[in-house]
Structure 1
Amino acid sequence: MAKSSSVFDSLRQDIDALAKQLGVSSVLIMRSLPQHMQVEASGGRHEETYPIGAQGKKSSLAHNGQALYCERVVDTDQPLYVKDSRLEADWAGNEDEVEFGLSNYLGYAVHGPDGEVYGTVCALHEEAKEYSAEELAALDELRKKVEVLLARELK
């Protein structure tokens, strides 16, 4: 993991272990900012692709106007599963697919102590992938841990 200090430092091993457990390229904690989605923690093989502090422009600023996966989760406050963006009209050609080859996405909204959506926890992969109930629960466990840390940090 990157050597930057963050509220999520205590989750570094959990994030790397989860990427291995899920068999995915990347597991991220993302924060929603007014104009960007920002990487707050990163693990897995694509850690250099998504370093802490990296930002993706939200759809209103993007050259193609297409929403980022995590942006959709934040906007709808609903989980998002994209089996293979290359085969889904809503997601074909999105930034993560085009720039990084990551066409599979699973993400959950993370809420701050005020109940507002803070960002997401998500998994990305290069190939179409289905997730078992156990894998879905494991990503949701990470979401819960993130929310506990945020509750302590943002009181």
Structure 2
Amino acid sequence: MTRGARAALVLGSGIGGFVDGIVIHQLLGWHHMLSGWYPDDPHRNMVGDGLFHLLCLVLVLTGVALLNRAGEVAGRTLWGGVLAGWGVFNLVEGVVDHLVLGVHHVRSGPHELAYDLGFLVFGAVLVVAGRLVARERVVR
């Protein structure tokens, strides 16, 4: 994997985290970062979400710095890496936070496992799509 592709993967992980935090935590209100551990403590959940967003910001800034350091990166490599990075975020966050630690679920309730598994499937699809987008086309 090239330096530019690694940079795009880090950038995509941060963007994926922001999409998760903004859409699922804030707009849909399905869960907060620590809602599985502290369901009745809005202050802890707000702080947890804030720390999560801070981590996402660090990933995005690190990805941009790495991308800058790598030099010019082809658009396909960049956008493929961003998609794959978002997928990696979903897979890691979904397995660790949803399934292993139980920090929260995508959507608590009678179908929470289905939502968690759907989140993982979507992450895997993003990784595959990113790899396909980043593949170099051979012109003959």
Q: Same fold (TM over 0.5)?
A: no
Q: Which has the higher contact order (CA 8 A, sep 6+)?
A: 2
Greater share of residues in strand? 1
**Greater helix content:** 2
Structure whose alpha-carbon radius of gyration is higher:
2
TM-score under structure 2 normalisation? 0.30
